[in-house]
Structure 1
């Protein structure tokens, strides 16, 4: 099957490439190329966000009334693809793609007027308060408690694996406001200021040696009820809506970049001379093309107004598992050079030289970070359960 974009879409692609060529600085490109995680450090993704905001391109997925671009679904797909191929710093999705759609769908007019412009301009930097110790995939079992006290809630408990909470000035969180009845019915969605007294952020150093995630503790934290999104006890429905947006990311372009980087390194180390390795590399490439085709099919359905909840789970599962496979092939290609590793080698501007190929630390860092990709955003085992229910009716 041969798929072609329209002449208008190809003209748009040329305009995007021209913009990237003239606005993506060498420093930002280096930061994007060195990123080993789902999104880059705050200084880099905010630096890129502000450039996009000045152009009016910060939020292609948003409706025009809130500051979106008005692009078609194919234009948004082209833009995401070209940014990935140019290796722009991955933007934090917490504000733009996660809490913003929730505020648009469930927020009051005053909440929309206050938060959305700040998210668009990068004035607020968000983190997500979902998972807890013992409540990850089974999120409905969360225990972080919010007790009503007049016009406020008082929160006690903890959240874990809170990405970039040490940078964030705001958090969106699920809290338990009712411990009776079905677990899903006692959850409420709140917006919190991270400088509120009683909030403590403690770092968790990952396998890759970086400080990306944290555990956040709440000790008598007072949050106005005016910061609630939706009604009390309606947080589960809000959370499910948000997860559709979290899982609906474009995977194939960034995987394609990683696969090309892998081929370059494999040629340098001699791994391409091995027939078995070439076969596994080819299999990954075929899987990527199949995933890209599926991505285009999903894009076509979304353009017709479909929400695509089941497909969102499918893309999350297939995309993260393929990404992990490419990472594993990267370590196989590096052979002994995959053993020495320091996180500092992935920092843009680092002046010490790693052992082996120059891009080896990026491959190793991606491998270590992406072990969690099939867990965060809803574990892939849970995604398969969702698929069996939504797509197969089981």
Structure 2
């Protein structure tokens, strides 16, 4: 068993918490902006009253577009990174039960009540005479869960990993061999595999397509690959430190990719993000292969670089940062109700889309973390009362406590 599993199974790492906090805040702010665009990316675009100027959309695409291609994969990577320690500490059965409770229950509540309720409110505010039942059954995708699709898919991956861990433990009584060196060559091979599988699956499920339960099947190749990468490199001690050479190479790959993408966009004559997107999303198009290649490079190299950089640069700890780290998953889950409520409230204001988006985003980020922290603190107090534990001894296990992803 790796030293990571032994030493870090119950230890919070401020650098990981800070990284998760930054990414969740970035996602919430990005969704606030995307709700007012014509290209979409956040469901408020179905009913928005104003939209960005095309030039503003180009700036937005340059600023947040690259991160949209890899940030979700990074969350799956971090989830996989902490899964071996969680399984080792709890056992496969308890690990699976914990994930069902902390991923499955919020997902079902979101899908069955919270998300359709707030989307119904958004449609009503826009003047549509629709019912809650319509919002639940007639919007696409069917049984939409908003941002909690992440929890749904992560639950499937986690249960599969628990089953695999249980099976390998039963079938093999021999101790696991020491892990072989893992480095840049393996990451390149993984990126190539993500390119090929993403291109193939998007022949049937183009990017941004919808499926029942909002499965995001077009994103599964990168999500599963990154979850698996996290599981593998956990045995190599990457929770504590990504090798400096690997981090540097990944950072260079990200910089080169980000520098090349705008040049390619100009060379290809992409003038309208909404109109030019179709061939990039899937099918037998070289543009689809190009997008899959850019995504794979960013999600593999970007995730590893982000982890390595956080381990070296995001070591600061304070009461505020600790609270944000604990509340990160709750903040992520709360972004739907908070963003939609703020957008509905801002609807009557005679402001351009750019101003409304900035106001909604600026208010939503602290609101999500604050409400999330209140929920976490309430859960901790309730846990202490049930156990009769003194204040300093209690902690909240599992996903809500460890934020996103679970550890």
TM-score, normalised relative to structure 1? 0.28
Of the two structures, which has the highest relative contact order with CA contacts closer than 8 Å and spacing of 6 or more? 2
The answer to which structure has the higher helix fraction is 2
TM-score, normalised relative to structure 2? 0.28
